[in-house]
Chains A and B, each alone.
Chain A
Amino acid sequence: MGKSTFLGGIHPYEGKKLTMDKPTTVLLPKGDLVFPMSQHIGAPAKPIVAVGDHVLVGQKIGEAGGFISSNIISSVSGSVKAIEKRLVVSGKLEESIVIENDHEYKTVEGYGTKRDYTKMSKDEIRGAVKEAGIVGLGGAGFPTNVKLAPKDENAIDFVVVNGAECEPYLTSDYRMMMEEPEKIVGGLKIMLRLFDHAKGIIAIEDNKPEAIEKFKQLTSSEERIEVQALKTKYPQGGERQLVYVTTGRKLNSKKLPADVGCVVDNVATVAAIYMAVARSTPLTNRIVTISGDAVTNPQNFNVPIGTDFGEIVEAAGGFKAQPEKIVFGGPMMGMAMYTYHIPVTKTTSSLVSFLQDEAAVEESPCIRCGRCIEHCPLQLAPVQLAKAAAHNDEEGFVSMDGLECCGCGCCSYVCPAKIGLTQKIMQTRNQILANRKKAK
């Protein structure tokens, strides 16, 4: 069923050695914490606290604003200082709750209580995940409780745990797999309780042999769980590539994994499910990688969500030289920002700093080498899509499946003429999708 690998893809410089073998440092922030109300796909959450209120660790401060939305949980105790627009990683100003840290980290009642999930009903489990404010921590931020409630739960054949971590430099998932693998296995067992006919697959790229070995040992007596080593290749952790390689099933942009009988979640998300259900601990912390050639002591930190990245950079010894570029997320799909004074959100897995900006190169004419086509993991023709985009040829763009593009960046990466193909394609794609939404 599974495949050895997918077509296309690239092997960029990994950069994982900088941080992968260093243990995660727990960091308690000193300054204010900022909680944007939109840290997920879907409607923003609504603040349910007012300025001056005292809040505790684990307290819900934002209520999900719709079906596809998520709660926001405080990761700190202190008082609400302001509810105002604050800068987030996308460069937008988002409504945020600012909490002044009282440094006591007092928790709400019942926080951390052990629960026997085998005695919980499916709805209780989903309810706990929803209350905990869990979303896809791999970066997409899709509300997990929605994912766990597909139309037909008996049609789910596979629960795939994504431990590929194919983005260069990032090791936060790897550290989680090395340090807290029991939580991931526990989370998967909880998920398998929701889907009676499903098999669990823990999928890890083969550049992490120690993690693979660890999970094989931990799950040796689990009949419903299998560990699969994946060939290391970017974007192996992409949903469509991962589902294809683990199950042999193909997704396109119009299908959800559930449509082909799969539920896919990142390892950190699965661990968060375990914490929420079995330990009554909502999503308040995450591991972030601070890496790149400009940072003094690259490493992973376990931080409360809402912590200012500036504090984490400081804890990593600051920058040894002025970086030219700072990227939140991996270098392939992450977002560059002009400042690093933004809060850690549920979906920001890292800060990668570069002394030199590789992408700051001039474009030269296309020499039709075909590398973009050869390396596109979705078998698109990026150069032709970019041409259609340049000519505002929406019809041609759509007929060549431009809307399928997942923005993985392989085409821009391999282009010898250094043409920003991904950007041109994604811009047109997003515009077409936005116009369609408007027309509805």
Chain B
Amino acid sequence: MNDLFHVSAAPHARSPITTRNIMQDVVIALLPASLFGIYNFGIRALSVILTTILACTVTEYVYCRLMKKQVNPADYSDVVTGLLLALNLPVSIPLWMAALGGVFAILIVKMLYGGLGQNFMNPALAARVFLLISFPGQMTNFAVEKISSPTALDYINNGAVAVVDSVSGVTPLAAVKAGETVDLFRMFVGNHAGTIGETSALALLLGAGYLLYRKVISLRIPLTYIVSVVIFALLFGGHGLDANYLLGQVLGGGLILGAFYMATDYVTSPASHKGQIIYGIFLGVLTGIFRIVGKSVEGVSYAIVIGNLVVPLIDKVTRPVSFGKERAKVEK
């Protein structure tokens, strides 16, 4: 009966964009930051990255097999989670801890809540927070014992020695908090201590530019988030209009990584434009409170994880008014 043609409901045209190539784009966008992390912290960074990615993909696969669920056709969402988690870890973390984080992210945060699209928190960040609470010492130890031998580029940039002592245990944001002046250019390029992926604003922005170009993300969440942090720091930071202090806030503590790559996670951010702006402001204020009022130095992870929890609420109140209708008045 090959005379019969396919029959299905309209529309019969579909855009070429798929979940899979969106996830691929995110992986591509994270490559500069990952490569810089490996360059900055040495080959061990690569093993942390591979460990978390492996932990995530294996956990997802085993879970699906055990639960007799269809194994997701490689949509790369587990790779994205693994990669993001690694970029949020210090290079010195024991590998078994990194693997545990990956298992936690996929098993507890993602699969147990129903898998892709159902988790109410960003899996990578939830895992980071889990590790921070469980192993505070290892998770905040940014000292690097071994730096790879200096490369030609090191000499050109700073001289190899500078590279080695730049990756000492003190993160620039901690220095900012302590009231010290920081080298903004070095913060921007990323030759300093921190988690594997958060140090280089340059590499992160390069990837973010790619995601914006590919229209995978928009500026709504990241921009409002970062601007809100700056405004909060301006008002309550106690340093007034001190560019070094304010830019230090922006470039430090994983704000760029969080704002562009994790606050924009589709699953755990609001769907409407208005909701996204509210969410960005909420995250900015929360981060400001954690950083300036609270004792903590960073705060981005906590802010986003808590922000994730209010997303359903934001979605509910920001549902757009449909075309040609006024918003229904509440009946008394």
* Contact in complex: B14, A324 (CB < 8 Å): no
Interface size on A, residues (CB 8 A): 69
CB proximity of A425 to chain B, nearest CB, Å: 11
A337 contact set on B, CB distance < 8 A: 5, 7
* Closest residue on chain A to residue B116 by CB atoms: A365
Which parts of A234-286 form the interface with B (CB within 8 Å)?
240, 244, 250-253, 255
Q: Mark A402-413, 1 if CB is under 8 A from B, else 0.
A: 001001010011
* Contact in complex: B324, A250 (CB < 8 Å): yes
| Alpha-carbon gap, A337 to B3, bound state (A) | 11
* Contact in complex: B266, A327 (CB < 8 Å): no
* Closest residue on chain A to residue B266 by CB atoms: A369
B77 contact set on A, CB distance < 8 A: 367
User: Within the complex, which residue of A334, A366, A384 is in contact with B12, where a contact is CB–CB below 8 Å?
Assistant: A334
* Contact in complex: A409, B11 (CB < 8 Å): yes
* Contact in complex: A326, B325 (CB < 8 Å): no
Asked if A12 is at the interface (CB within 8 A of a chain B CB), the reply is yes
CB proximity of A351 to chain B, nearest CB, Å: 11
Q: Mark A125-167, 1 if CB is under 8 A from B, else 0.
A: 0000000000000000000000000000000000000000000
| Alpha-carbon gap, A201 to B320, bound state (A) | 30
* Contact in complex: B17, A379 (CB < 8 Å): no
B322 contact set on A, CB distance < 8 A: 252, 378-380, 401, 404
Given contacts A252-B325, A365-B115, A369-B266, contact A327 B19 (CB under 8 A): no
| Alpha-carbon gap, A380 to B324, bound state (A) | 11
CB proximity of B8 to chain A, nearest CB, Å: 5
Interface size on B, residues (CB 8 A): 41
* Closest residue on chain B to residue A406 by CB atoms: B323
B4 contact set on A, CB distance < 8 A: 338-339
B133 contact set on A, CB distance < 8 A: none
Q: Which of A29-37, A108-116, A355-363 contacts B (4 or more CB under 8 A)?
A: A355-363
Which parts of B294-326 form the interface with A (CB within 8 Å)?
319-325
Q: Mark A394-422, 1 if CB is under 8 A from B, else 0.
A: 00000011001001010011111110101
| Alpha-carbon gap, A210 to B324, bound state (A) | 33
| Alpha-carbon gap, A24 to B4, bound state (A) | 29
| Alpha-carbon gap, A332 to B13, bound state (A) | 6
Asked if B15 is at the interface (CB within 8 A of a chain A CB), the reply is yes
Q: Mark B231-252, 1 if CB is under 8 A from A, else 0.
A: 0000000000000000000000
Q: Which of B83-91, B138-146, B197-205, B267-275 contacts A (4 or more CB under 8 A)?
A: B267-275
A338 contact set on B, CB distance < 8 A: 4-5, 7
* Contact in complex: A364, B14 (CB < 8 Å): no
CB proximity of A151 to chain B, nearest CB, Å: 20
| Alpha-carbon gap, A357 to B5, bound state (A) | 10
B75 contact set on A, CB distance < 8 A: 364
Asked if B151 is at the interface (CB within 8 A of a chain A CB), the reply is no
Asked if A217 is at the interface (CB within 8 A of a chain B CB), the reply is no
User: Within the complex, which residue of B10, B15, B22, B118 is in contact with A422, where a contact is CB–CB below 8 Å?
Assistant: B10
